[in-house]
């Protein structure tokens, strides 16, 4: 009996968590993603890209 109760309890808790996640208003909101993309475009190349370009230039010169 306790095994069935434990199994039922865990499944009910998972179902509650899933329902709460699906009910969130920001679940399907991509406005923040667009803002982040614009921010990245304005900033230019990242530090990693700058390092790679410098390494490629040094390799060409060598």
User: Looking at residue 26, what is its pLDDT?
Assistant: 72
User: Looking at residue 41, what is its pLDDT?
Assistant: 65
Record the pTM: 0.44
CA distance 49 to 54: 9
User: Looking at residue 2, what is its pLDDT?
Assistant: 80
Q: List pLDDT tens digits, range 3-61.
A: 999 999 999 999 999 999 988 877 776 676 677 767 766 666 778 888 888 999 989 88
Residues 53 and 45: beta-carbon distance below 8 Å:
yes
Lookup: tokens for 6: 């434990």
CA distance 62 to 55: 10
């Amino acid at each position: 009996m306790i095994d069935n109760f434990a199994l039922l309890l865990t499944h009910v808790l998972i179902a509650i968590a899933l329902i709460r996640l699906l009910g969130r208003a920001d679940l399907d909101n991509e406005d923040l993603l667009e803002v982040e993309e614009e921010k990245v475009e304005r900033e230019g190349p990242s530090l990693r890209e700058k390092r790679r370009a410098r390494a490629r230039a040094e390799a060409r010169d060598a």
